[in-house]
Structure formats: C-alpha cells, structure tokens
Amino acid sequence: MVERVPCNNCGVPILTATAARTGGACMVCHRDPTARQQEAARERAAEIALATPQQELLTSLGKVLDRLTLDEARRAAERREEGIYGFFLMHEYFAMFSTVVFTDREFRLACEQHPEEEPVSARWAFWWPSFTDFGGPELERTVHALDLQERAMPRDEESPLLREIQRLCLVALRRVRGQGVLGADVVLALGAVEQSAEETFLYAEQLCNSDTLMRFRRELPWISEADLEMFRTHGHLACL
Ligand SMILES: [Zn+2]
C-alpha cells in the first residue's frame, strides 16, 4: 500500500514522496497555490451563469450597452470639429463590442496615404484609426454568462440569442439618436465582423433619417439592390 498524505493547501491525497519534494503541497498547488481556488471560482461563476434566466442576462446586457454606447457617443461628439459623419457600434459575436467614429479629418489623412483609392469608396473604408473596444467587468460578466448558455444549447438549433444581442445594440444606438448626442446627419449603424455593406445599410435604415440615408447610399456605390431586397425579405437581420 502506497502511503499518501493530504496536500497542505487543498487537501487532495498525495504521495509522501511528492510531499517531501514540495514541502507538503500537491503538484498543482506547488506550481500555483491559488490555482484550485481559481478553478473553483470559475466553476461557481459558470454554475451561476447557467442558472440565471436568460431574459435577466439580456436585460442587464441591454442596460450596460445603453450606458456604454451613450458614453462612447458623447466622447465622439467631443471631436465634432473633426467633422463626424459616421458612428458605428460594432460587435463580434459574444466576445467584444467596439465603436468606430468616421471623421472628415481621418478620411482626408487616409486619402493622402492611399491616393490610389476612389475617394467615394474610401469614405467608409478606412475606419481602423477610430476603432475603440469598450466594455468593463460588468459587460464581460454578462456576455460570458450568455456565451456559456449559448454553448450549452444543442448545436443544430439556430439560436435567437445573437439576433437579440444585435437588437439590443440597435436599441442602444436609437437612444444615442434620441438624445441628440450626434447630429442627425451622422450615419449611425450596427456593424459586425464579416457583415456585408448591404446589412450595414439596412441597420442604418432603422436609425437614420431619409436625407442621411440617401447620402450614405450614394457613398456605397458597390451595394446591390438585389442583396438589399434579399436581406429584407429573408428577415434574419435584427430589427428594432
Ligand atoms: Zn493541493
């Protein structure tokens, strides 16, 4: 019978030979004395996340998105003299949220750096300089909990969760519009990684007045009416 003693940190049985080598700790605790606690805390958080009603998580996500998007829009408004013409809320599934501020100033700089681009197309193409991730522990916790619930779903079902999150983003943008933080001529839209220009336009359609939309449409010469119609009728886009 091999003799074992409890780890002096977490209590799992370990060989006396191990204890002699590590000063009484199991190998996990020897490498990082807080590892077991961290793992337990993660498991508890996951249990709580899975037990929280999804509607509750979505409600708090909506609140935090409203607040953060409004903060971002106010920050953007401080750059008014740079000539803001677009403000996009971007999301990448459950992982992150960002905003993009399009300004005449950055557009001019981009044109100088890329003289080969068609100016009209470039107007909405160069947005990396103004790409800002936003968030915080509250947003992260909620998104992580939703992510865990999503992963617990059967894979063959199309989850309505992503569309609901997109809808909450639209609601947050509508609030920005409603509060008049940015001028009515600023294009507001919901963006996403790998989203087509048509989809972006259809989101702008829900948030902008007709003059602003017409200008936006002229500046997206490559979008296809057929695709717009297809996206409209298929109805997989989030709607306010
Ligand atoms: Zn241990």
Per-residue pLDDT at 69 exceeds 80: yes
How far, in Å, from the CA of 11 to the mean position of ligand 1?
6
**Distance (Å, whole) CA 184 – CA 141:** 34
How far, in Å, from the CA of 3 to the mean position of ligand 1?
16
Are 190 and 87 in contact, with CB atoms under 8 Å apart? no
Partners of 169 in the β-ladder:
none
pTM of the model: 0.81
How far, in Å, from the CA of 50 to the mean position of ligand 1?
28
How far, in Å, from the CA of 37 to the mean position of ligand 1?
10
| Ramachandran class of 11: left when φ > 0, alpha when ψ lies in -120 to 50, beta otherwise | left
pLDDT tens digits, 131-173: 788 888 888 889 889 988 888 877 666 678 888 999 999 999 9
How far, in Å, from the CA of 59 to the mean position of ligand 1?
40
Q: How many CB atoms lie within 10 A of CB 164?
A: 17
What is residue 9's three-state secondary structure?
A: coil
| Residue 32 DSSP code | -
Are 25 and 7 in contact, with CB atoms under 8 Å apart? yes
How far, in Å, from the CA of 2 to the mean position of ligand 1?
18
How far, in Å, from the CA of 148 to the mean position of ligand 1?
28
Partners of 4 in the β-ladder:
15
Instruction: Tell the residue number behind the tokens 């700790």, with chain if given.
Output: 25
What is residue 70's three-state secondary structure?
A: helix
pLDDT tens digits, 14-58: 999 999 999 999 999 999 999 988 888 888 888 888 899 999 999
